[in-house]
């Protein structure tokens, strides 16, 4: 897999390392811990930052206090494709069983009109996963796909949001698009039942749901955009920041409520050079200014 430009970031209270180890064991195969570092003296105290991979797909996680709770507004679709894995049917059941340890099924693992084997599970940490046995005759999709669920105040805006993201990111295109038909209230005819799309060559999924949900997008799951230089940081900051009070340490919130982190691709190296000097400077920033981090590292 090519290097990810956009990396999902999970915010835990204290369990980032424990959760990463759990996911690596639950998914197995090409899953591994990549890196563990500590940020000292943050507003949440010492914070563990963990990088890990599931089947080659990159995630980051942080233990930074009980500020945000996971919910199904952003989940992770996991494709079990028999064209790629002859034992996909057995593996979907195995992963479901592991994620079910202390978890809560949101949709039981069963046959549905769109898949002969699908289940939606909230794991013991609150992160939600959609496991799907993929039709091998369809267009190939990656194994892990972040999925947006537009509910509440942003229900009906999935098409607007995905159009906007397609305009912001390069190497982008829409894949499938299915609209709700008439007669499926409370979902409104013409809103998005399912769409998938590529941003920077990575696949994402989006859906509207007008059913009653007591959650919304929040900072528990954000999307980290790795930028090559200050010009890229400035560009994505300008395009994705719509809530000024949410701007902090590279974090922004867009007009749909989704949180992003606009960061240098080499942020780890910048912080590691002189963490006692660089970390406090970074924590005082809203938009990341690479030259200021470099200067702090050399002081």
Q: Say whether both 238 and 139 belong to one domain.
A: no
Structure tokens that stand for 245 in this block = 């009070």
Q: Are 104 and 185 contained in the same domain?
A: yes
- Among 208, 239, 255, residue at a domain's last position: 208
Same domain, 187 and 246: no
Residue 195 lies in a domain: yes
**Host domain of residue 245:** 228-299
Kindly state whether residue 214 falls inside one of the protein's structural domains: no
Query: Do residues 190 and 291 both lie within one domain?
Result: no
111 with 152, same domain: the answer is: yes
Q: Same structural domain for residues 187 and 238?
A: no
What is the rounded distance in angstroms from the CA atom of residue 150 to the CA atom of residue 268?
A: 32
Give the pLDDT means over successive 10-residue stretches in the chain (299 positions): 85 96 93 84 77 96 94 97 92 97 97 94 98 82 94 97 98 96 96 97 97 96 97 98 95 98 92 84 94 91
How confident is the model at residue 102, as a pLDDT?
97
Last residue of a domain, one of 180, 208, 236: 208
Q: What does the alpha-carbon distance between residue 112 and residue 1 come to, in Å, rounded to a whole number?
A: 30
List the CATH number of the domain containing 138: 3.30.720.110
- Assess whether 110 and 195 both reside in one domain: yes
In the beta sheet, which residues pair with residue 105?
121
Same domain, 237 and 192: no
Residues 241 and 177 in one domain: no
- What residues contact 163, with CB distance under 8 A and at least 6 apart? none
Quick check: 292 and 286 in contact, CB under 8 A? no
| pTM (2 d.p.) | 0.94
**The last residue of a domain, from among 179, 208, 237:** 208
282 assigned to some structural domain: yes
Picking from 200, 74, 168, 91, the residue whose alpha carbon sits closest to that of residue 126 is: 74
Q: Residues 204, 242: one domain?
A: no
Question: 192 near 179, Cβ under 8 Å?
Answer: yes
Indicate whether 203 and 236 sit together in one domain.
no
Partners of 42 in the beta sheet? Answer: 45
Same domain, 102 and 191: yes
Whether 18 maps to a domain, the answer reads no
**CB contact at 8 A, 7 and 60:** yes
- The strand order across the sheet containing 32-42 reads 32-42, 45-54, 57-63, 6-12, 221-227, 259-264, 251-253
Q: Work out how many domains the chain is built from and give that number.
A: 2
Q: Is residue 16 part of a domain?
A: no
Q: What is the pLDDT of residue 1?
A: 43
What is the distance between the alpha carbons of residues 7 and 40, in angstroms, rounded to a whole number? 23
* CATH number of the CATH domain containing 238: 3.10.180.10
């Amino acid at each position: 897999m090519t290097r990810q430009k956009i990396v999902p970031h999970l915010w835990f209270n204290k369990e980032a390392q424990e959760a990463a180890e759990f996911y690596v064991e639950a998914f197995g195969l090409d899953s591994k811990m990549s890196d563990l570092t500590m940020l000292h003296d943050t507003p949440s105290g010492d914070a563990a930052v963990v990088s890990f991979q599931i089947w080659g797909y990159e995630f980051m996680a942080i233990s930074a206090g009980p500020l945000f709770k996971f919910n199904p507004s952003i989940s992770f679709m996991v494709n079990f494709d028999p064209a790629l894995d002859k034992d996909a049917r057995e593996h979907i059941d195995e992963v479901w069983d592991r994620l079910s340890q202390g978890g809560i099924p949101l949709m039981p693992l069963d046959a549905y009109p769109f898949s002969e084997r699908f289940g939606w599970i909230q794991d013991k940490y609150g992160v939600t996963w959609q496991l799907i046995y993929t039709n091998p005759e369809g267009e190939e999709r990656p194994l892990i796909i972040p999925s947006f669920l537009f509910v509440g105040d942003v229900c009906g805006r999935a098409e607007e949001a995905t159009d906007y993201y397609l305009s912001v990111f390069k190497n982008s295109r829409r894949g499938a698009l299915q609209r709700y038909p008439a007669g499926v209230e409370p979902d409104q005819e013409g809103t998005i039942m399912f769409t998938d799309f590529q941003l920077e060559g990575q696949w994402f999924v989006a859906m509207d749901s007008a059913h009653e949900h007591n959650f919304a997008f929040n900072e528990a799951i954000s999307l980290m955009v790795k930028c090559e230089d200050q010009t890229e940081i400035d560009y994505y900051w300008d395009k994705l920041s719509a809530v000024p009070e949410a701007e902090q340490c590279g974090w922004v919130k867009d007009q749909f409520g989704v949180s992003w982190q606009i960061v240098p691709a080499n942020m780890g190296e910048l912080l590691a050079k002189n963490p006692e000097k660089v970390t406090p400077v970074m924590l005082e920033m809203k938009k990341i200014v690479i030259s200021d981090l470099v200067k702090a590292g050399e002081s």
